[in-house]
Chain A
Amino acid sequence: MTFKTSFLAILLGASLLAACNNDPLSDLSVEESQVFITNRNKTADFNQYKTFSIVDSVIVLGNRGTGTSLSDVDMQVLNRVVANMQQLGYRYVNPKDSPDLGINVAQIRNSYLNVVSQPMSPYLGNYWGGGFYGGGLGGWGYGYPSYYTYYQVNENYWYLEMVDFKNPDRANQKLNVVWSAEIRGAGLFDVQQVSNVIDSVFKQSAYLGSN
């Protein structure tokens, strides 16, 4: 092989290796990462409701315990929900004044602990593969003592729901949820972002509104 062909072969090999690691989300912006999921009771007529009220603090749910929270972001979220509802024509009333709709705002916080048993496949983390063994496709693995590695995944997202107080199901002693929204992604707890985040779920629910 001449120098030129060896060089070309190495170049091809290197691009082959580089191709092994695709990160499709590397250029995803914070806004693009956000997912807004809404759900409604299709039989509900949102025009029938005139008044609403909202919880006085954000409910925290999840496998790390439950409780309430009223941080700056939480307060901003509650105020933004109220503002959106008022814009849709609903009147904000005290919870004691029997509102037609009640709004729950929750933060879901879950942690999951996962166990990976070693060895990790060197094909997953092939950082050393290339330079160490020429072409990188050679069958070098890692020598491990037998042990386990733990990693923790946290998820934290918003959940909103609208409860129908106007038409309670008296027979079954049930209050029906007529609308719910789940907001996932990055930047959800950022004071700068959170107002837009809340606006989004109302904007995509065009059926809401009272006149």
Chain B
Amino acid sequence: MALVLFVSAQVLAQQGSNLYDLPSPYERYTHYLATARVTAAVPIGAFADNYIDRSSAQNYSLSLEWILRSNLSVGGEVGKNFFQQRLPRQMYQLGEQEVSAVQTRTLTQYPIQGFVNYHFAGSGAMVRPYVHLSAGGSFVDYTLYWGNLADQQQKFAFTYGVGAGTKVLFKRDGSVGMDLRVKYTQTPYNYDYITSGISALNGSIGLFYRWW
């Protein structure tokens, strides 16, 4: 009797450990992952020097990606970036004219991009660092207010970015987690004060949900 009990206990223990070692469905199958991000953006380069150098926290994006069974994932991301800066009253020389005005400089961007992520850990890992490459188009709205008079230009422009980030699960094999990402973005767009594109360094914090 004692022997039977001992053997069955051993069998149960073995079964238990097998269940525990079984890969989660997220590791076994290609699955989906949606992320909502809030981004702080710092303008850099000529964009910062000539137009807006004030950082912006009013940037948001939504992305959807397919986590492949390899270390890759591919997806799409839509977002909105908004930069604004008010300059105190000063004198501007516009051709022959001298203009005294308070400038409110704004730039709004609605990027629509496709992206590829390469991850440095398997999809079962709690922490999953990755590098990120994106390219797509961006609807750009340049509005420069002189006092309350606006000079506006809107254009659809090419946009691309490179970045690195990490996904952190809230619990093992869970479906919810946090996404941290740093990304450099560039949109070749020239108009008025913007002479060599819109460049920014973006730091984002996001919340993701994955399912299969």
- Please state if B91 and A19 are interface contacts (CB–CB under 8 Å): no
- Please state if B207 and A9 are interface contacts (CB–CB under 8 Å): yes
Q: Report the bound CA distance from A25 to B84 in whole Å.
A: 10
Digit string of A1-21 for contact with B (CB within 8 Å is 1, else 0)? 110010011001101100110
Q: Report the bound CA distance from A1 to B175 in whole Å.
A: 8
Interface residue from A19, A39, A42 paired with B82 (Cβ < 8 Å):
A19
Digit string of B92-104 for contact with A (CB within 8 Å is 1, else 0)? 0000111111101
Q: Does A38 contact B (CB under 8 A)?
A: yes
Q: Which residues 66-97 of A sit at the B interface, judged by CB distance below 8 A?
A: none
- Please state if B147 and A204 are interface contacts (CB–CB under 8 Å): no
Q: Does B31 contact A (CB under 8 A)?
A: no
| Beta-carbon nearest neighbor of A200 in chain B | B100
Interface residue from B36, B60, B97 paired with A9 (Cβ < 8 Å):
B36
Digit string of B38-57 for contact with A (CB within 8 Å is 1, else 0)? 10000000000000000000
Least CB distance from A108 to B in Å reads: 14
Known A9-B36, A15-B60, A22-B108: A28·B102 in contact at CB below 8 Å: yes
- Please state if B36 and A12 are interface contacts (CB–CB under 8 Å): yes
Least CB distance from A58 to B in Å reads: 22
- Which residues from chain B contact A38 at a C-beta distance below 8 Å? 97-98
Q: Does A143 contact B (CB under 8 A)?
A: no
- Which residues from chain B contact A16 at a C-beta distance below 8 Å? 36, 60, 62, 80
- Please state if A32 and B102 are interface contacts (CB–CB under 8 Å): yes
Interface residue from A12, A19, A37, A204 paired with B80 (Cβ < 8 Å):
A19
Least CB distance from B41 to A in Å reads: 13
- Which residues from chain B contact A189 at a C-beta distance below 8 Å? none
Digit string of A25-51 for contact with B (CB within 8 Å is 1, else 0)? 100100011111111101000000000
- Please state if B145 and A25 are interface contacts (CB–CB under 8 Å): yes
Q: Which residues 176-206 of A sit at the B interface, judged by CB distance below 8 A?
A: 184-186, 200, 204-205
- Please state if B58 and A24 are interface contacts (CB–CB under 8 Å): no
Q: Does B194 contact A (CB under 8 A)?
A: no
Question: SS class of chain B's interface: helix, strand, loop or mixed?
Answer: strand
Digit string of B50-76 for contact with A (CB within 8 Å is 1, else 0)? 000000001010100000000000000
Q: Which residues 123-152 of B sit at the A interface, judged by CB distance below 8 A?
A: 143, 145-149
| Beta-carbon nearest neighbor of A22 in chain B | B82
Q: Report the bound CA distance from A184 to B99 in whole Å.
A: 11
- Which residues from chain A contact B97 at a C-beta distance below 8 Å? 37-39
Q: Report the bound CA distance from A22 to B60 in whole Å.
A: 13
Digit string of B136-171 for contact with A (CB within 8 Å is 1, else 0)? 000000010111110000000000000000000000
Q: Does B209 contact A (CB under 8 A)?
A: yes
Q: Does B176 contact A (CB under 8 A)?
A: yes
- Please state if B146 and A20 are interface contacts (CB–CB under 8 Å): no
- Which residues from chain A contact B104 at a C-beta distance below 8 Å? 24-25, 28
Known A9-B36, A19-B60: A34·B98 in contact at CB below 8 Å: no
Q: Report the bound CA distance from A34 to B101 in whole Å.
A: 7
- Please state if B38 and A36 are interface contacts (CB–CB under 8 Å): no
- Please state if A5 and B207 are interface contacts (CB–CB under 8 Å): yes
Q: Report the bound CA distance from A2 to B100 in whole Å.
A: 56
Known A5-B209, A15-B38: A22·B106 in contact at CB below 8 Å: yes
Least CB distance from B87 to A in Å reads: 10
Max count, chain B CB within 10 A of own CB: residue among A12, A24, A42, A204 = A24
- In addition to A9-B36, A24-B145, A33-B147, 18 A-B residue pairs with Cβ atoms within 8 Å of each other are A1-B175, A5-B209, A8-B207, A12-B38, A12-B207, A16-B62, A19-B80, A22-B84, A22-B106, A24-B104, A24-B143, A32-B102, A32-B147, A35-B147, A35-B149, A38-B97, A39-B96, A137-B62
Which 9 pairs between the two chains have the least Cβ-Cβ distance? A35-B147, A32-B102, A36-B100, A33-B148, A12-B36, A35-B101, A185-B147, A33-B147, A16-B60
* 11 A–B pairs (Cβ distance < 8 Å), ordered by A: A2-B176, A12-B207, A15-B38, A15-B60, A16-B60, A25-B104, A28-B104, A28-B148, A32-B89, A32-B102, A185-B148
